[in-house]
Amino acid sequence: MKHCGTVRLETERLVLRRFTAEDAQAMYRNWASDGEVTRFLTWPAHAGPEVSKAVLEEWVRAYESESFYQWAIVPKEPETGPVGSISAVSVNDSISMVHVSYCIGRRWWHRGITSEALKAVIDFFFDRVGANRIESRHDPRNPRSGLVMRRCGMTYEGTMRSADRNNQGICDAAFYAILKSDR
């Protein structure tokens, strides 16, 4: 693959961009402090804005790597700052595969924002990076996440029992993927 790092992407309603240290308050306020948002995620809700600040400082340093992909999801209107994130949580160059994960604040659920962001990231990884496979997974108790994947053309590949862990404990993992040839 031809890694190029986290570059700015735009859709009709969104800007996907690198995080900055100045995004810590919006991150904390808009999604990272909400236990309902993090319920099915692998990291706990942030206890305070200092946790969000520390995470963002780590990500900003990681942007030096061309194989690090972490976008802030920012609606164009109204300007609210970031309302979520979407990232490549793992990359396997030997099979040209990217595993994508996302998270968005509760106030922005059910508006198609996550699907719009995921579609842009899928296009980016296929067209610019040269990925052959893009995959994602979710806890089956969070079916809306699977709906986002299906809306973006990903195919359900199966559920692995007790194969993951999130804030609910050990859980099943429903896997979805899209191949470049599926487009």
- Count of other CB atoms within 10 angstroms of residue 90: 11
Residue pLDDT, tens place only, 1-13 = 999 999 999 999 9
Nearest to 82 by CA among 30, 43, 45, 121: 30
Tell me, rounded to whole angstroms, the distance of Cα 88 from its chain centroid.
7
The structure's pTM equals: 0.97
Residues 17/21/22/23 CA torsion (nearest 10 deg): 50
Q: Model confidence over 62-115: pLDDT tens digits?
A: 999 999 999 999 999 877 899 999 999 999 999 999 999 999 999 999 999 999
Q: What is the pLDDT at residue 80?
A: 81
Query: Given this model, what pLDDT does residue 77 score?
Result: 85
Domains of the chain: 9-135 (3.40.630.30)
d(CA 71, CA 76): 15
What mean pLDDT do residues 143-166 have?
Answer: 98
- How far apart (Å, rounded) are the C-alpha atoms in residues 43 and 33? 11
Residue 63 Cα distances to 4, 5, 50, 142, 157, angstroms: 10, 7, 20, 30, 32
Identify the DSSP state of 32: I
Per the structure block, which two tokens stand in for 89?
A: 């949580």
